[in-house]
Structure 1
Amino acid sequence: MKLRIHTQLDYQLAQPTDVLLQLEAAAIPEQIIESAHIALSDCAHFARVPAHDLIGDRLWLRAEGRLTVDYRAVIAINRVLTDCGTLEKVPPHQLPGETVQYLLSSRYCPADEFHNFVEAEFAGVEGGQRVIAIRDWIEQRFAYVPGVSTAQTTALDTFVQRQGICRDFAHVMITLVRASGIPARMASVYALGVEPQDFHAVAEVFLGGEWHLLDPTGMANESGMAKIGVGRDAADVAFLTSFGTATLNAQSVEVTRA
């Protein structure tokens, strides 16, 4: 499958400001960038740096006044799709070192507080079957409601409120999967089927020795996702981080089948 992506950002910076962007699809074996172009307004500084786990790039900018970004790409998805429900949990002592951080609690995902819940709610279900059960449990019980969460909302907050947006759903799933002793991280993606179209956040779980993308909102499938970056939670995969005041003028994301 091929995805055509068009992203536009328009922000106003009141003073010279450092800005960190992460919005380009990652160049990784599971997806081939057939074409890509990013156009930026004038910047005093531009530099590429590796993103989390060396998946994708971040862009350091130093800019003032109006900051505009126009990103266009065509991505061929070559991901090997596997039924996660058939995969086994890797015992913690056999996990690769780079996955260990994704077993632990993080800023938005307090996994330590959910051990008793997952053992009671999902007793008797293990490995990939538990991961699928967690995804389905969230999709069936949580409402997708824009505007009810903030940048400070954690998985615990969303668990109580039972509503939120994609990042909130992903935080809850990541938290419950980690509490089950399975590494889980957040992936920012471009995805078909997301309404309203925007940067999308999903969970990525480590089963059978590989990472697998799962969307607890139920809107997107792994075959129609182009990965931008990964991290412990939303703090690691923000599409724009401003080290100063940035005012949004306009923003749009369009993902279609090429």
Structure 2
Amino acid sequence: MTVEIDVNMQYALGDDPMVRLTIEAAHMAGQTVLHDQLDIENATLTRVDGEGGLGQRIWARVDGGQLNLRYRASVEVAHPHRPLASLRADLLHHLPGHVMASLRPSRFCQSDLFRDLAAQNFGDLAGGQKIAAIRDWVSGALRYVPGSSNAETSAVETFAIGEGVCRDYAHMVCALARASNIPARYVSVYGPDVNPPDFHAVAQVWLEGGWHMVDATGMSSDAELVVIAAGRDASDIAFMETLSMAEMISQTVSVQIR
């Protein structure tokens, strides 16, 4: 399956010209970037490897006070798929070191505060069956409401208000999985069925020695998703960060299956 991506962003920047971007499709197993092109007017770019070696982050020094960006990519997607319920959890003492941070609480995924909830609702399940139940519980407990949360909303706040967007659904899955001693991380992706069209977020859980995607919004399947980056939560992999205030002029994200 080939996924076509076209992103246009225009932002008025503040006093500091530096912008950190996480928007390019990652070169990784399960997806092949056939072609991509990033154009940013009046910018000098510096690339650094992403956390865990997944994807790249881009520092752009933008002259003129306005970010004018276009990113286009064609990505062949062939993520292996296995039903969640068929997957076993790895024993904690067999987990590789690079996934251990995905067991711990983070800024937006306060998993230590969800241990009782996880035990009460999912304590009789194990492995992928537990994750499937968490996914379905989050899907039923939350309403998808654009604008109902912001960049500071945590999983605890999402649980309290019972609504959110993809970012919040992913945080809830991560918090409940970690509370159940299953490593989980937050993943930024492009998905063709996201409505309204935008950057998308899902969770990944570590089962049977590998990462498996979980989208509690129900908008996408792992067979269609293009991975950008992964981290503990949204604070690690925001699509754009600036050192001073920035104001959006326009932004469009188009993701189509060819």
TM range (shorter): over 0.9
1:190 aligns with 2:179: no
Q: Give 1:14 deviation, angstroms.
A: 3.1
Question: What corresponds to 1:156 in structure 2?
Answer: 156
The alignment-based identity, stated in percent, is 38
Question: What corresponds to 1:50 in structure 2?
Answer: 49
| In structure 1, C-alpha distance between the alignment counterparts of 2:129 and 2:14, rounded to whole Å | 50
Question: What corresponds to 1:107 in structure 2?
Answer: 107
Listed one character per residue, the Cα deviations across residues 55-103 of structure 1 (whole Å, up to 9, x for unaligned) are 1111011124111110011100021111111111111111000000000
Corresponding pairs, count: 257
Code of the aligned partner of 1:15: D
| In structure 1, C-alpha distance between the alignment counterparts of 2:17 and 2:40, rounded to whole Å | 15
Listed one character per residue, the Cα deviations across residues 18-51 of structure 1 (whole Å, up to 9, x for unaligned) are 11001000011210011111111102x3111001
Code of the aligned partner of 1:207: L
Listed one character per residue, the Cα deviations across residues 119-154 of structure 1 (whole Å, up to 9, x for unaligned) are 111131111000000001111221000111111110
Listed one character per residue, the Cα deviations across residues 173-215 of structure 1 (whole Å, up to 9, x for unaligned) are 1000000000000000001211001000000000011100110
1:128 aligns with 2:102: no
Gapped runs of 5+ residues in structure 2?
none
Could you list the structure 1 runs, at least 4 aligned residues long, displaced by more than 4 angstroms after superposition.
Answer: none
| In structure 2, C-alpha distance between the alignment counterparts of 1:227 and 1:256, rounded to whole Å | 15
| In structure 1, C-alpha distance between the alignment counterparts of 2:220 and 2:19, rounded to whole Å | 29
Question: What corresponds to 1:94 in structure 2?
Answer: 94
Q: What's the C-alpha RMSD, in Å, of the aligned pairs?
A: 0.9
TM-score by length of 2: 0.98
Q: Is the 8 A contact 2:109 2:172 kept in 1?
A: yes
| In structure 2, C-alpha distance between the alignment counterparts of 1:195 and 1:189, rounded to whole Å | 14
SS of the aligned residue for 1:138 comes to helix
Q: Give 1:15 deviation, angstroms.
A: 2.5
| In structure 2, C-alpha distance between the alignment counterparts of 1:136 and 1:61, rounded to whole Å | 40
1:249 aligns with 2:244: no
Code of the aligned partner of 2:146: P
Q: Is the 8 A contact 2:77 2:223 kept in 1?
A: yes
TM-score by length of 1: 0.98
SS of the aligned residue for 1:222 comes to coil
Code of the aligned partner of 1:154: S
